[in-house]
Amino acid sequence: MKKVLALIVMAILPLTAAAHGPSPQKVEKEVVIKADPAKVWGLVKDFGNMQKWHPAVASTTLETKKDENGDAQTYRTLTLKGGGTIYEKLRSADDKDMQLKYEIISGVLPVADYNSKMTVKAGPGAGETTVTWMARFYRVYKLNPPIPAGQDDESAISAVTGVFEAGLPALKAVAEAK
Amino acid sequence: MQVRIKPTKANKSQQIIILKFPLPLIALISVTLLMSGFALPCFSGSAYITNQGDNTVSVIDTDSNRIIETVKVGLAPVGVVVSAINQRAYISNVDGQSISVIDTIKNQLVNTYPIKGSPVGLLLSPNNKTLYVADWTEDVIYQIDAITMKIQSKIKNGKAPAGMAISPDGKRLYVANRDSDDVSIIDTNTQQISQRISVGKHPFGLAINRSGSELYVVNVISNNVSVLNTTNLKIQTIKVGEHPYCITPSKNGQLLFVTNTQDDSVSVIDLAQKQSIATIKVGEVPEGISMEDKTGNIYIANWGSNQVSVLDSQTLKILTQIKTGDKSRAFGKFILESPSNKTILN
């Protein structure tokens, strides 16, 4: 836990939305939960309440704003227990496919162009549910080496890995609790 | 009964020998082979799939849709272009800052050549003598001798050049400039930009039709495709899915297939209707897309799920999914047509 928080607050860096490093990076983690898929999906899709299951999140603030095309969009601000915030945009919450998609607009994670999806599926066993969390992102530093410390691929990957590895077991615990 | 020969390396060597004979002799050999109970072994193509995470290229036999070889290349390979004439596959290693060259007969690495900057897009001139390399961070197009791999010249370009296409006569080179939101048209004789055409936001993948009359530009942030009439330079815009990357026309040129990286799907555009007529679920985060000329099948490299999807361009059904390496990208025209097939058609 402390390691995760340390990773998250390690670098407070602006996100560069326009340009990015050469290669996109990926983190993908999975957890099997002994609970009904609908119950797990209920927790995952609740975009405004991530603090209910993620141990690094102290509180979540939800807001609706118009984007540049004039369409109403949902955003959340995650306030982290270790300090700092992450501002995210909901891309979609599909009840049929049980898939949540969101992206990071700005925040303390040392990543750029981060988009992520959480997919909930029944199985593998009866009464079990599998949650897959996948993110695609770039490192903060967009140019070729030398890369400043904390802005390289490894920093980005380990920060996201930390978030996922702390979150999924906690999601399992919350879903299996009641 | 016909016995099917698997495309072994030995058979591939035979194909090349056959290539050197005049057409009547090929016909005679074909008839002889058929009469002796063998199908011609020389019609299978190969797809060269770059795997960013493994630093490898998966070679797929497009007849069996199986991996026949995995070739180690430079760091984080992304771009690819293939040449039946040169018997080479060219690979851009964006983190390795280099170009790897693969011998497509042996499916072995020939050599890796350093490039200053971040090479991404690759293209060959129609005569296969010149390799164009788009350098993402240096904002130049390198013109390289495709045999000796010597850099011949550097063409200054717009910002973050990515996808490229070329007119059938080789005179006009089109470059998608991602961070300039335009396409530059380069006169390959003078090596100067003759025109810059504004398109959507973040143009990335490019393709051109067989006659060269239309250029297709994928706009990543705008979620659409610009269809550029290359004569009057007028543009029509067609909406596709989320965060599209790459595009290929169908064999008959009537459809366009576009990978939507954030929808895990491919949009099918009918060019007559100028709109998307279907959306097909593929693997996760589809990037590179190419058409196999014999069957017209569409091959899609899925970065997120480490596989290639094969799509029937007529039924619009997924035929198979082929496991490749980590983070498959295959940015460019990655399917090598059968050399003998091409010779006979010509």
Same domain flag for B27 and B136: no
Euclidean distance between CA atoms B324 and B250, whole angstroms: 24
B78 contact partners, CB below 8 Å, separation of at least 6: A23, B50, B52, B92, B93, B94, B120, B329, B331
Which run of H or of E encompasses B224? strand B224-229
Same domain flag for B81 and B171: yes
Neighbours of B277 (CB within 10 A): 12
Give the side-chain half-sphere CA count within 13 A for B68.
22
Q: For position B116, what pLDDT does the model report?
A: 86
- Among A16, A26, A113, the strongest candidate for a mutation testing the B interface, having the largest count of B CBs within 10 A, is A26
* Percent of chain A predicted with pLDDT > 90: 77
A136 and B CB contact within 8 Å = yes
Q: Do B304 and A91 touch (CB under 8 A)?
A: no
Same domain flag for B220 and B292: yes
B53 and A CB contact within 8 Å = yes
Q: Residues A39, A4, B325, B246: is their CA dihedral positive or negative?
A: positive
Instruction: State how far residue A83 is from chain B, nearest Cα, in angstroms.
Output: 30
Q: What is the DSSP letter of B43?
A: G
Same domain flag for B32 and B71: no
Same domain flag for B24 and B56: no
Residue indicated by tokens 């990926």: A26
Same domain flag for B313 and B206: yes
Q: For position A18, what pLDDT does the model report?
A: 40
| Residues making up chain B, counted from first to last | 346
The CA angle A142-A146-A149, to the nearest 5 degrees, is: 80
- Among B285, B326, B328, the strongest candidate for a mutation testing the A interface, having the largest count of A CBs within 10 A, is B285
**Chain B residue with Cα closest to A68:** B222
Minimal Cβ distance to B137: which of A18, A115, A144: A144
Number of domains in chain B: 2
Domains and CATH numbers, chain A: 2-177 (3.30.530.20)
Instruction: State how far residue A143 is from chain B, nearest Cα, in angstroms.
Output: 7
Maximal CA-CA distance, chain B: 60
B94 and A CB contact within 8 Å = yes
Q: Are B325 and B53 in contact (CB under 8 A)?
A: yes
Q: Are B309 and B65 in contact (CB under 8 A)?
A: no
Which range of residues forms the domain containing residue B92?
44-345
Crossing angle, helix A153-177 and helix A2-10, to 10 degrees?
A: 140
B304 and A CB contact within 8 Å = yes
Crossing angle, helix A153-177 and helix A37-44, to 10 degrees?
A: 130
Instruction: State how far residue A107 is from chain B, nearest Cα, in angstroms.
Output: 21
Minimal Cβ distance to B76: which of A19, A23, A28: A23
Same domain flag for B307 and B327: yes
Instruction: State how far residue A97 is from chain B, nearest Cα, in angstroms.
Output: 12
What are the structure tokens assigned to A138, written together?
Answer: 């770039």
Pairing of strands B46-51, B244-249: unpaired
Q: For position A2, what pLDDT does the model report?
A: 52
Pairing of strands B192-198, B182-187: antiparallel
- Among B284, B302, B326, B331, the strongest candidate for a mutation testing the A interface, having the largest count of A CBs within 10 A, is B284
B55 contact partners, CB below 8 Å, separation of at least 6: B72, B73, B74, B75, B76, B77, B93, B96
Which residues of chain B neighbour A24 with C-beta distances below 8 Å?
A: 52, 303, 327
- The CATH number given to whatever domain includes residue B271 is 2.130.10.10
A115 and B CB contact within 8 Å = yes
B145 and A CB contact within 8 Å = no
Instruction: State how far residue A101 is from chain B, nearest Cα, in angstroms.
Output: 9
Which residues of chain B neighbour A26 with C-beta distances below 8 Å?
A: 53, 303-304, 327
B139 and A CB contact within 8 Å = no
Same domain flag for B64 and B20: no
Cα dihedral A119, A121, A123, A127 in deg (nearest 10): 110
Euclidean distance between CA atoms B307 and B179, whole angstroms: 29
Minimal Cβ distance to B97: which of A18, A19, A144: A144
Q: Please count the residue pairs, one from chain A and one from chain B, whose beta carbons lie less than 8 angstroms apart.
A: 38
AA letter at B145:
D
Q: What is the DSSP string of B242-311?
A: SSEEEEEE-TTSSEEEEEETTTTEEEEEETTTTEEEEEEE-SSSEEEEEE-TTT--EEEEETTTTEEEEE
pLDDT confidence band for A5 (50 / 70 / 90): low
ipTM of model: 0.84
Same domain flag for B119 and B192: yes
AA letter at B336:
L
Same domain flag for B85 and B12: no
B137 and A CB contact within 8 Å = yes
B78 and A CB contact within 8 Å = yes
Residue-level pLDDT, tens digit, chain B, 346 residues: 344 444 444 444 444 444 444 444 444 444 444 444 343 445 579 999 999 999 999 999 999 999 999 999 999 999 999 999 999 999 999 999 999 999 999 999 999 999 988 999 999 999 999 999 999 888 999 999 999 999 999 999 999 999 999 999 999 999 999 999 999 999 999 999 999 999 999 999 999 999 999 999 999 999 999 999 999 999 999 999 999 999 999 999 999 999 999 999 999 999 999 999 999 999 999 999 999 999 999 999 999 999 999 999 999 999 999 999 999 999 999 999 875 444 444 3
**Chain A residue with Cα closest to B95:** A22
Same domain flag for B10 and B94: no
Same domain flag for B127 and B156: yes
Euclidean distance between CA atoms B271 and B279, whole angstroms: 15
Q: Are B91 and B111 in contact (CB under 8 A)?
A: no
